[in-house]
Amino acid sequence: MRLEPKTIEEVQDQSRRELGKAARRSRIVRAARDLIRETGSTELSMRMIAKSAGVSLTTPYNLFGSKWAVVLAVFEDERDFAARFAKLSAPNALDRIFDAHALAMSYFINDPAFYRTLWRALLNTQGGDTTGLATPERLKRNKDAWRSLIEQAQAEGLLERWVSPDALEQALSCFANGAMLSWAMGALKTQDLLPSTSLGYALTLRGAATIAGARLLEPRIEHYQDGLKRPRRRGRHSA
């Protein structure tokens, strides 16, 4: 049976529905973020989230399915990260890797209480409806971005081509996730988060570096080591 093509009015109506759905989704994520900031906890009810967002109780369930999916959406709402990532303009691919890493860490460093709350909640896998951090979309997006930077460094002759970009990306990811777990649990201070993870990145990349790449990485390794040894004043990011 041949289906009739949609009329202009039907297409416009569908477009309006999709825009309305996206707007409601954004309001729910924004409301959940504000509630987490206010309460310092992710133990929110869907009723609280819906009321704060100004939508019916069924709307968050229809759009997200569960409270944990809303919390995960708050974590994954990367605001201006993609735009800022696209503007990175370091002179070589290794520097771009460290610039991208510093950009990612800046969110946690500038708002540690909020992001620690999210990490602790999302790392808790005891709940039956939690999806954790490892959604397929998030994993693929992150993996592709970092692998692209690694491949650029190989193309520029800074990393050995015989090293698998996927394996190197996975090594960096495992290190970063371990460091973030330590930070979320309070074992790693916020002021040490960037130099510690950057040092781990530099040491990992040094093992795959060419002679030219090693010349760029070794000063970084020395810099990050010195930064971790140097005593710092206590401030709002020291905890």
pLDDT tens-digit readout, 195-208: 999 999 999 999 99
pLDDT bucket at 6, cuts 50 / 70 / 90: low
Q: If pLDDT is split at 50, 70 and 90, which confidence band does 142 have?
A: confident
Q: Which tops the pLDDT comparison, 75 or 134?
A: 75
Residue 53: exposed, middle, or buried by beta-carbon count in 10 A (0-12, 13-18, 19+)? Answer: buried
CATH topology of domain 8-75: Arc Repressor Mutant, subunit A (1.10.10)
Q: What is the reported pLDDT for 1?
A: 46
Can you give the pLDDT at residue 82? 74
pLDDT given at position 126: 46
Are 8-75 and 78-229 equal in CATH topology?
A: no
pTM of the model: 0.77
Average pLDDT, the chain: 85
Q: For the chain, what are the domain ranges? A: 8-75, 78-229
% pLDDT > 70, the chain: 83
Q: Is 141 exposed, middle or buried (0-12, 13-18, 19+ CB in 10 A)?
A: middle
Q: What's the mean pLDDT in 7-32?
A: 81
Class of 78-229 in CATH: mainly alpha
Cα–Cα distances (Å) from 175 to 20, 179, 215, 226, in that order, read 40, 6, 23, 20
> 44: how many CB neighbours lie within 10 A of its CB?
18
Q: Is 148 exposed, middle or buried (0-12, 13-18, 19+ CB in 10 A)?
A: middle
Neighbouring residues of 163: CB distance < 8 A, sequence distance ≥ 6:
154, 208
pLDDT of residue 111 exceeding 70, the answer is yes
pLDDT bucket at 124, cuts 50 / 70 / 90: low
Single-letter amino acid, residue 13? D
- pLDDT beyond 90 at 52: yes
Task: Give the DSSP letter of residue 209.
Answer: B
Q: Which two tokens stand for residue 151?
A: 């491949």
- Single-letter amino acid code for the residue at 169: E
Q: What is the pLDDT of residues 38-51, one digit of tens each?
A: 998 888 899 999 99
pLDDT of residue 131: 44
- Cβ atoms of 166 and 144 closer than 8 Å: no
For the stretch 169-223, pLDDT in tens is 999 999 998 999 899 989 999 999 999 999 999 999 999 999 999 999 999 999 9
| Lowest mean pLDDT segment, chosen from 10-19, 94-103, 177-186 | 10-19
